[in-house]
Amino acid sequence: KQEVTQIPAALSVPEGENLVLNCSFTDSAIYNLQWFRQDPGKGLTSLLLIQSSQREQTSGRLNASLDKSSGRSTLYIAASQPGDSATYLCAVEGTGANNLFFGTGTRLTVIP
């Protein structure tokens, strides 16, 4: 069974810093990897989706990379802002599966 791990579980940074969130997965036979944002008491919002054949995706200040062979993905956030404070989850979709396997998330706090 696919297992997805996110480290650290929580992270606090001062406003303006660049930061990296990490995601690792045990089975490299994936179809795609998705990064989500979850605000307290809310649902999940998709941030970036990387197909297994891709190495990275960018959206504004966010850049997600994927190294399928090593089972790792990173989410890079440039010039962090207090509005970036949320929990960030990564999820992998296996080939032939109708399921996303989620990590437990990294809770990010950006301090003004």
Partner 1 sequence: NAGVTQTPKFQVLKTGQSMTLQCAQDMNHNSMYWYRQDPGMGLRLIYYSASEGTTDKGEVPNGYNVSRLNKREFSLRLESAAPSQTSVYFCASIGRDRGRGLNEQYFGPGTRLTVT
Question: Is there binding between residue 46 and partner 1 (CB under 8 A)?
Answer: yes
Q: Residue type at 84?
A: D
Closest CA to 47 of 32, 69, 62, 27: 62
Question: Is there binding between residue 93 and partner 1 (CB under 8 A)?
Answer: yes
For residues 18 and 99, which CB has a smaller minimum distance to partner 1 in the complex?
99
For residues 78 and 97, which CB has a smaller minimum distance to partner 1 in the complex?
97
For residues 48 and 80, which CB has a smaller minimum distance to partner 1 in the complex?
48
Question: Is there binding between residue 58 and partner 1 (CB under 8 A)?
Answer: no
Q: Which residue has the tokens 């995706």?
A: 57
Question: Is there binding between residue 26 and partner 1 (CB under 8 A)?
Answer: no
| 37-45 LR contacts (CB < 8 Å, sep 24+) | 37/86, 37/87, 37/88, 37/89, 38/86, 38/87, 38/88, 38/89, 38/105, 39/86, 39/87, 40/86, 40/87, 44/89
Query: Residue from 23, 105, 106, 110 that binds partner 1 (CB under 8 A)?
Result: 105
For residues 76 and 102, which CB has a smaller minimum distance to partner 1 in the complex?
102
Query: Closest distance between partner 1 and the C-beta of residue 21, in Å?
Result: 15
